[in-house]
Structure 1
Amino acid sequence: GVDAAGIFDPSIAGFGPQVINYTYTTPDGCVNSTTQNVTIFDVPVVTLNTFTDTCISTADFALYGGFPITDANGIGVYSGTGVDGLGVFSPADAGVGTHLITYTYTTALGGCVSIATQNVVVDSLPIVTFTSFIDTCTTVIPFTLSGGLPLGGIYSGIGITANVFNPLTVGADTIQLTYTYTDSHGCSAFATDSSIVVAAPIVSFTSFTDTCISVLPFSLTGGLPAGGVYSGLGVNSGTGIFDPMIAGAGSDTLVYTYTDITGCSNIAKDTVVVNALPIVTITTFADTCINIPAFNLFGGLPAGGTYSGIGVNSGTGIFDPMIAGAGNDTIFYTYTDLNGCANVDSQTVVVFAAPIPNAGPDIEICFGMDTVITASGGLFYQWTPATGLNASNIANPIASPDLTTTYIVAVSNAQGCIASDTMVLTVHPLPIVNAGKDTVICFGNSVVLNASATGTLTYVWTPSDSLSNDSIFNPIANPTTSITYLISVIDSNGCVGTDNISIGVKPLPFVELNSDAENNTTYTGEVVTFTSTPAGYVNYQFFVNGSSMLNGTGNLYLTSALENGQLVNVIVTENGCSNSSDTLLMTVRDLPNAFTPNGDSQNDRFAKGIDLEVFNRWGQLIYKGIDGWDGKFNGKVVAPETYFYVATLYDVSDNKTVKKGTISVVAK
């Protein structure tokens, strides 16, 4: 660490023991040297902590924060403006501003010195002013103080807590208040001021007894001295009127405030109880009808209340719909509890108008008749009794009672309201009639009807057919078929009694008379057989020109003694009734001498029904039979000329008569 100039630099030599050589050379060039040991000590590392700013009003204080601290290894010393020999710093001596503080440390070994520095700032004090409040009263509620500047300081003094002044804790007195302000550097200053606390007036207040929430607003009293102001929940302080409804149910504190001539106020309080109204309910009423009997109301809770409203007897709780009248009526239920508080609930009961029934006029009918009875005035109808009615639940049933009956009709409207009316249906008995015994006659005969009845009567027979007179009791009847006559006898009430009589008309036995003579035409002496059909009747009596020719059970009559133009008929008897056939007009003639067998059904056969033989002029037999010759031989019509016949006739005794003659075939 020693340079050529003989300068020793410990920092170059380094820490620790070092040897220093000294060499001397004489002018003669003689050299000699010597050595000396030197120990190089390390310079200590010295630090000084940063100082916080301080205020000029801060008391002197010992500096600290230098390291290493004074001990056996060395000594540390503080120096600078405002620092005394003991290391005490006096902000007042240093003055406002920034001051350099030096910390010097000297080691015990080697006396090595090292320093560290830091600035310390001495701040000036803030300028603080304080103008306190004007005189106040002991009753003034604690209030936050003001008037100190700069803002943000702290007030102190009697009665002050957290900058809030409570006059009551001070009492009537003159007091001094202090305002202390600390700036952003932590420097504080204060200012003081005095105020007077005046004693408040003595105030009393005795309020009202418990009330109900439903009580109407009322003026408060009881505050002394007079002239103060009432306040509290539910109180209009301008008028002193208390409204329990606004206050609400529960305990409420009311305040009476009085201010004296000094401007000091005091209050007195009283607790009042506003009782809630009882919870009152009333159930819904069913709709009712105006003509329903009065009935007890129910459904109000709690029990023990009072019902009221139009039509309600509040003493008995009975509701009379007739008094209430038709329409919507409000029923009130009022209940008062043990606190004397009353509440009310209401329900609307609908009273429907009753229908105006009309059962119709009284009616008279005859037994067995029916009539329509007609009611009106409603929507639904119910008749009682239902006896004799075809339907009891319609407005216009058909009534047919056996006895006089008073009918009651219950008429209901759309709302189900019912009213009734009555009508009397008088039933008159029918006249007693006897039409006589049934009888039987033969077709074409007549019979006298003979009805009987009592009273003032009118007779009517139906049907009137075949009667001589249908409005007398004994007409002559001449029916053509079996018939039942109804006799209707009408009395003074217009009631009709009836009876009937059956007239059996036995049919005449059917008879038909036929002869075996074609077209009832025969030839003189020819036997004609008359047949009456049907066979089997009890008796047959044959007549020729009105003279009985045969009377018995047989239905055949044979004769060969008829003459031209005679009338033949037969009367038959069966079941006690007789009937005549149609009359047959008989034609009796001699055999003709010519005929025209041309197929026109006019005179086409000769001597039909007679045992006949026909010969031609040569004597050749060209026809034989009883069916009558049709003018043919071997299936062909013969030539028109004259032919010869032989006719054999027999009478009823089978006596034979032979007739011969000619017959001409005429072409046509």
Structure 2
Amino acid sequence: HPDQPGASQGGRTLYAAPCDGRLLGARVHDLRPPLQEMTLFGLVTVSGDEVRHFLNATRSLRSARYVAGVFLRHLRDVLRHGRGMRLTNGNALAARLARSLFDLDIPLWLNAPVVSLTRQGARTTGAVVHREGRDITLEARRGVVLACGGFPHDAARQQQLFPHVRRGGAHHSPAPAGNTGDGLTLGEGAGGRVDANLAHPAAWAVFSRVPRRNGSIGVYPHFIDRAKPGMIAIDSRGQRFVNESASYHDVIAAALRSAAPDGRGLYLLCDHRAIRQYGLGFVKPFPMPMGRDLRTGYLRRGRTLAELATQIGVDPAQLQATGAATYTWSPATGLSCSGCPNPIANPAATSTYTVTGTSLDGCISTSQVTVTVNPIPTVVPGANQTICSGSSAQLNASGTQNYSWTPATGLSCTNCPNPTASPVSTTVYTVTGTDANGCSDTAQITITVNPLPGVNAGQDVAICRLDEVQLLASGAVSYSWTPAVSLSCNTCENPMASPAATTIYQVTGTDANGCSSTDAVTVTLFPDAQINAGADQIICAGSSVQLNASGAVNYIWSPVTGLSCTGCPDPFASPSTDITYFVSGTDINGCNDSDFVKITVIQKEPMSFGPDQAICEGGSVQLNASGGDSYQWVPATGLNNTQISGPVATPTTTVEYTVIIKQGICFADSGKVRVEVYPLPTVHAGGDQTVLAGSSVNLFAMTTHTDNYLWSPVDDLSCSSCQSPVATPKRTTTYTVNVSNNFGCEAKDDVTIFIKCDNSQVFMANTFTPNSDGANDRFFPQGKGLSNIQRFRVFNRWGEIVFDASNIEVNNATQGWDGTFKGEPLKPDVFVYIVDATCETGEPMQIKGDISLIR
């Protein structure tokens, strides 16, 4: 307020000192950059002195050096860090606040809107924040501070509090689009009140709309340039309405008082020299170009004031007389005054006005100006339309070249022929059409906005899994529910819902006007009841166990067999056989669940310890107990395992074993099993022998602890079951003797009789007397161990065979030589004999000798 006593004539009373962005580290990139319209290559100035340096950079070497240094530092930061590190104004303030949070280890969450406040009675206890796709409840120890700014993008509150918005004027703000007054709304929900009885509901500032290259619209705040030299502020009538150097709040307050009913804005005027020296709004001073700003329409330029007035829609027909002290205009028809220098002319037809000017010296001069009156065009706005609240209608004006729609509320554009209208209530739009001559006409179109039906999906409800609930919609004529899954119908008013998980059902209701609105109801599934019947149990026949169910408030047990109670959580169970008990329960939410517990009853089964056993010394026997599931044998002497039912026993002496048999944890018994160890017989069959074929041998088994004998093979033995048989083997034979005692214990040994053959087995007489006296009358082979005589020959001294016999028997005199040759007795002499024989072993033998024949 520079017009107040003690006020500063420039700059700000208080501003944030510049801050080095590097103190935020990597989180400097979370800091929202400044408005791009207020930067020069991303650089923002901070104070009045710095602004003067930038404005004088082309006229002062000192300012040029200052600006160059700032730009070089900024360029270095952009190359190193991706953005400027010299933070100013609001960026500097936000950076220092953030650094304080980081130093105190206070987490700073971005993109985390507050959904609601949590309350206990009249107390606010925390907030629900939506972050990373889920809602998080934060509990406050002392309180909740709503530091959320104002309501720069809250259209409903602007409509309520801003007079120019209620008149259909536009309102713009450089604040982030997400700043929709949530803090005020949350405060009201907690019982607070927003005071609307203020002299000014906002801190006003002048903004211009800047078309961006991407098609969006930015805003430029005119904090400084409205008060630059050569700047004049006019309203939509072309009238100067305020001291341009006043505070920007006072400038807007005056503009609101002076605003035209059509909602058009204000204009800043200057000549070419001023804009190139100081700039104007977003347009930078020389040497920065301004051609794009002229092409986008942000900047308008005219060769004369009248041409410029036509471009911005200000009536150019204001006459301007100069050069005299007093003036007289004629004719006076259509003039706002005839004795003023600048009357406003409003002739009904083209007219030529003459002005007579008189100087202070009384000198008179005249001049003329012709005001051409062009015909008024006819604007056709289109037919009235009816829409539903929240919908839009396409307007379509015709009949002129240029159009201006008012109010701007709800319009997609105000200077196009066919804006899209989205009013929140029934609105009469006025369209002003201007033709090529600058003449205009107005027309109106009414957009009737039918209210949306008050669709109500009913109260949120919670059910148990597998249950169903009836949804209750109201407020419309027809309905459509989504999701349709788990609904009995999706187009009825009151469907039955049986969701498999917590589900938000949205219903769209349509009224008789065809307008629709939606509401939602949440069907929450209670957590599943968790009934636990307890661990399975093992009991002994005749005993009991206490069951213990949990997870519910009510219980029912079945079957009732052996239970002390069926409606309690912990009955005693005394079943006689194995049984499975089932328990069903209802939890605090009324949800049901069931579980079961198995009771195993150990019955006493018959037990057997097995019979006594007998073994021979060095033998083994398998014991055989039965009827249990665990066993213990003592002593362990000679047992291969003491904990099985059938261990193998190999004792060296007689042992009496005790076995303890257990059936589970319930039953046990013990018994004895005697294992008698009998002595093992010993036997020695004697040493091996060698004898002549045909000889006999006395065998003898030397034994101990022996009662029975058995020799084999039995051939050529005098007996097979005696201790000392006589063996007459015909060939080498191994005799085995198996001995046993009356306890069944056995032993064996063997002996080999080797048979040999030689000539000593054969006896041939050396003299015989064939005189028929019955004694020694014949000469024949005698002996033992021979199987047969293959040939027996006798030769005289001349080598003549006098006797020859084949295949004769041993010891058979009748087959011998009787001392004759060819039937005649031979005289006494000495003869030679050859005997070819076969031993009983199969070996061939030949015996030679001489025999004396005596008569």
Provide the TM-score with structure 1 as the length reference.
0.34
Bigger fraction of residues in helix: 2
Bigger fraction of residues in strand: 1
Larger Rg: 1
Q: Which has the higher contact order (CA 8 A, sep 6+)?
A: 1
Provide the TM-score with structure 2 as the length reference.
0.27
